[in-house]
Amino acid sequence: MIRDRIARSPHQQITFADFMALALYQPTYGYYTRDASQLGMGGDFATAAHMGPDFAELLAEQFVEMWQHLGQPTPFQIVEIGAGQGLLADSILAYLQRQYPNCFAAVHYILIETSGALRTAQQAHLARWQSQSADISWCTLGELNPDSITGCLFSNELVDALPVHRVVLTESGLQEQYVALSESAEQPWTLTLGPLSTPQLPHYFEQAEILLTQPAYPLNYTTEANLAALDWLAQVAQKLHRGYVLTIDYGYTAERYYSPQRSQGTLQCYYQHAHHNDPLINIGQQDITAHVNFTALEHHGQHCGLATLGSAPQELFLMALGLSDRLQQLAQLPGSDPQTIRYALRRREALHQLINPLGLGKFTVLVQGKGLTTAEQRSLKGLTMPVGM
């Protein structure tokens, strides 16, 4: 399919963004669409959702506060975009039902999923909620009506997997990276350079006040521009009537992202829990990601009517929502039998992984809002600095 697309394209090449979109999302053979087994401890990578229920339960604490700030509306829509295998949804609903039944009764949980394989996995995992007639549904982002959501649209490790354009600084200025067919039997693909495919690319860097042609940037400086993330955020903003957008992912501010020292960009591939930087192998069988430019999300969000309410490292966000209390409770568990000790050690290890400053803890949590009164924009618990930090 990729070969055919290249053969039919002008100049017999496609942008790296088009290649990445096919490799990840082609409906039959794309990495995220062919099956759900690539996710989790036994797959190519694990997310916070695979570390146990704590991450979801702490997120639920934040959703409850959002519901309260909005005046406890019914329905309160929690929209999870890119819901993986449905692990977060299951744990969030269970926690709300157990700890906050009034909020649970108001929740309409919507899973946004384009992958048929993942939607099937989610529906199987969440079958018990459907059998209990919980208010839960599936759709694509495009199927949501504009201005229809009162609540929170959230994503966890979604934006990093959106297709990115790659650009390279050459002696003749900024050029774009394309994928073309190679004459080599061993490697059927090759990366080539050509003119920028869209005027949106220079505008993307101008918006972030990044001038890649400055002397500080070396020749062959290579980096990414995530135009798809801006389109995605515009769609999300359009769907939101009143409430919040919560984005969790790994990334940097524009200044750090486009540091002259980061001369090869941030593109990474994940295959069987190992990472490398060759996107032209294992096509359809490996994840391809790039770090998120959070400055671009903030600036474009404001353009789309989303106010930036704050951001925090995941480590501090989760600590503020009660992760430290959970660690203390584990330390005070009664009993010294082997089963209790194993449980405490396993939970403690999972909690520490969520806040590890060299891993998940350094992820960024960005919260944006729309249609909020001044009172509703008041600081959320997850964005407040924990005591003692």
- The CATH number for 55's domain is 3.40.50.12710
12 belongs to a structural domain? yes
Per-residue pLDDT band at 267 (split at 50, 70, 90): very high
- 295 plus 285 within the same structural domain: no
Ranges 39-43, 228-232, 347-351, 381-385: which has the least confidence: 39-43
Task: State CA 34 to chain mean position distance.
Answer: 20
Write down the pLDDT at residue 39.
63
Q: What is the SS3 assignment for 274?
A: strand
Which residues constitute the domain of residue 297?
48-162+229-250+291-378
- 169 plus 261 within the same structural domain: yes
- 116 plus 189 within the same structural domain: no
Write down the pLDDT at residue 388.
45
65 belongs to a structural domain? yes
Per residue in 41-94, pLDDT tens? 555 667 888 888 999 999 999 999 999 999 999 999 999 999 989 999 999 999
Mean pLDDT (whole number) for 252-278: 94
Q: Strand pairing of 189-194 and 274-276? A: unpaired
pLDDT of 116 above 90: no
Q: Integer distance in angstroms from the first to the last C-alpha of the chain?
A: 52
Domain boundary among 237, 269, 289: 289
Highest mean pLDDT among 181-195, 211-225, 355-369: 211-225
221 belongs to a structural domain? yes
- 209 plus 264 within the same structural domain: yes
- 103 plus 173 within the same structural domain: no
Indicate the pTM of the whole model. 0.93
Which residue in the block uniquely carries the two structure tokens 């401890």? 41
Q: What percent of the chain has pLDDT over 70?
A: 96
Mean pLDDT (whole number) for 10-23: 96
259 belongs to a structural domain? yes
Please state the domain count of the chain. 2
Q: Strand pairing of 292-293 and 251-252? A: parallel
- 190 plus 219 within the same structural domain: yes
pLDDT of 374 above 90: no
Write down the pLDDT at residue 37.
63
pLDDT, mean over the chain: 92
372 belongs to a structural domain? yes
Write down the pLDDT at residue 387.
46
Crossing angle of helices 87-99 and 116-125, rounded to 10°: 30
- 57 plus 15 within the same structural domain: no
Which residue in the block uniquely carries the two structure tokens 């790039």? 290
Phi (first) and psi of residue 241, to 5 degrees:
-90, -50
Contact 117, 125 (CB under 8 A): no
Q: Is 369 exposed, middle or buried (0-12, 13-18, 19+ CB in 10 A)?
A: buried
Write down the pLDDT at residue 148.
98
- Cα separation, 30 vs 12, whole angstroms: 21
- 327 plus 237 within the same structural domain: yes
- 333 plus 372 within the same structural domain: yes
Contact 367, 298 (CB under 8 A): no
- Cα separation, 113 vs 123, whole angstroms: 11
Write down the pLDDT at residue 296.
96
Residues β-bridged to residue 287? 270
Write down the pLDDT at residue 74.
97
- 89 plus 234 within the same structural domain: yes
- 324 plus 175 within the same structural domain: no
pLDDT of 143 above 60: yes
Higher pLDDT, 185 or 371: 371
- 119 plus 240 within the same structural domain: yes
245 belongs to a structural domain? yes
Query: DSSP class of residue 265?
Result: -
pLDDT of 153 above 70: yes
Mean pLDDT (whole number) for 162-168: 98
- Sign of the dihedral through C-alpha 312, 322, 90, 43: positive
Per-residue pLDDT band at 231 (split at 50, 70, 90): very high
For residue 16, which amino acid is it? F
Write down the pLDDT at residue 117.
85
Mean pLDDT (whole number) for 222-230: 98
pLDDT of 337 above 80: no
Q: What percent of the chain has pLDDT over 90?
A: 74
Q: What dihedral do alpha carbons 24, 109, 90, 301 form, nearest 10°?
A: 50
Mean pLDDT (whole number) for 269-278: 89
Task: State CA 342 to chain mean position distance.
Answer: 32
- Cα separation, 318 vs 140, whole angstroms: 29
Provide the token pair at 229: 């993330």
pLDDT of 138 above 70: yes
Higher pLDDT, 14 or 343: 14
pLDDT of 182 above 50: yes
Ranges 31-45, 158-172, 219-233, 336-350: which has the least confidence: 31-45
pLDDT of 377 above 80: no
267 belongs to a structural domain? yes
